[in-house]
Amino acid sequence: MGLPVGGNSVKAVFLSSIFFLFFVSTAFADSVNSEISMFMSQGETFTKELHVISGVNYYFVKIAGLNGSSDTIILRGVGDDWEIVSSAQDIRSVLYGKAVNENVSYANLPSAAERDQIWAALLAFNDSRKRGEGGCFELIGMDRFPCFDLDSCWRACYTPACQTMKLGSGAFFLNWAKAMWLNASAIDGNLSDAKVRLYAVSADDPGDWERCNAVLGDECNSAIEADFQAIFSDIAAIRLSAGNNEANEIQLREAIGFCYPMAYEYNGLINASAMISREFDQIKPFLDLNRTTSSIFESTARRNVVGEGKSAKGLCTAVLAEGSTMLVQVKAKANRALFVASSQEILLKVRGLESSLAGLDCEEPDLELADVREFNSSFTQTAAEVEAESDNISSGYRQASEELSALNATVTSLVQANSGGAQAAGLQANVSSLYSRMVMPQAADLPGIQADIETTEALADEFALANGSGAGSSLLIPALAAVLAIIVVAAGAFLYLKKK
């Protein structure tokens, strides 16, 4: 008698086992699905089949592309991880192992007994030719003489019955006889070829094909497949020729009805075709080994490109290339901004971008995908900030310069119209001060300069209204000096930054 065990304990152990198995299988599926996603583009789908080959887990994964194409790759289990099978030799080895697991090998080629069954089916059709086709040949004389053109058919048609028909119907009758002879000859030829091909693919010794494949590779498999396809073609051609004879006027009662109806027995052809198809289906995966290997190898190469783009090293390489291009664009905009205004913040950010990009090592053994993504996010954000700040400085300075130039023209006109006036002189002094402040200003000072320009514009408008003055077009001499100073200082700053 066994030890007593409580029912609740048994149930608890059972449920725990179920939950454990569920957890393991779920984690297993999540692991391989995550690996598969590394080789897929957004929007693509996949199906997978698990095969255990020599104790190793392999997933055959079919990825459906967005353009209707598809790729097949093989993932191999390595501990708790998965890796893509990339080399052609490894791919073929896996395919070979899968074929062996599914009992597909050269031993699946027709055996001697199966070969004889197929040939017996073809002979059953051949036997059905004797009464209709054979009787017609005897009645005409084609059982003794060939009939391939009008002259040979005239000679072949030597029997009394045939001589009566050829004298009465002439070429019409002889052409019907010729068509029957040609179709019958084609059937003979196709049957003979089918027999040769059938014996060629039979597996009296599968080792012969193994040795052939080891030396010639795909040539042997191609030869086997060519023989199978030839047998299919032979059977189809036999069926066509027999059908042509069945439609020949020489034996149709509604025509002259000279011969007995052909009455072919097609069950033999149908059975032979079914048997050879079954044999071919059993061996085809093995014959396709090299072709399938090439196809999967090409798919793997394409998918590795996608995978490299998602791996740490692959992403790092792409970030490094894109970052270098981005840095050139950022520095160009920063140079334009720093040509007209000073910004220590932009200088530091540009140098920081240069330094971080120079320090990105894509060959680092412990490089993590998350770290590369974080670097890319930070680098891109800083570069965007520098571009935006540089654009703001360049556009702000340009707007201030244009407004100051217009203000200078207005004030110059007012001074000429009201020479000696204290208020006009004050406006002139304001403009000169603004030009001085525009010589390599701090970027942070530009909004204040802009505001002072607008204030001076308002004062100039009030003065003009009060004194009825118009605007002139000349510039103040001090302003010209200030502009020249801006250009000299800015050029020096640009050359300094370029050296950096």
**What is the SS3 assignment for 303-361?**
HHHHHHHHCHHHHHHHHHHHHHHHHHHHHHHHHHHHCCCECHHHHHHHHHHHHHHHCCC
Backbone angles phi, psi at 156, to 5 degrees: -65, -35
Q: For residue 16, name the pLDDT band (cuts at 50, 70, 90).
A: very low
C-alpha 98: how far from chain center: 26
pLDDT digits (tens, 9 = 90+) for 287-299: 888 889 999 999 9
- 479-498: per-residue pLDDT in tens? 444 444 454 444 444 444 45
Work out the percent of the chain whose per-residue pLDDT is above 70.
84
**What is the model's pTM?**
0.53
Q: Between the ranges 39-43, 352-356, 362-366, where is the mean pLDDT highest?
A: 352-356
Distance CA 226, CA 221 (A): 9
Region label for 43, one of left (φ > 0), alpha (ψ between -120 and 50) or beta (otherwise)? left
Scan for tokens 């030839």, then name that residue.
230
DSSP string, 18-42: HHHHHHHHHHHHHHHHHHHHTT--T
Kindly report, residue by residue over 412-431, the tens digit of the pLDDT: 888 887 765 788 888 888 88
Helices (H), 202-266: 206-216, 218-246
Give the separation between CA 231 and CA 242, rounded to whole angstroms.
17
Which of 284, 269, 179, 262 has the alpha carbon at shortest distance from 232?
Answer: 269
Query: What is the Cα gyration radius of the chain?
Result: 47
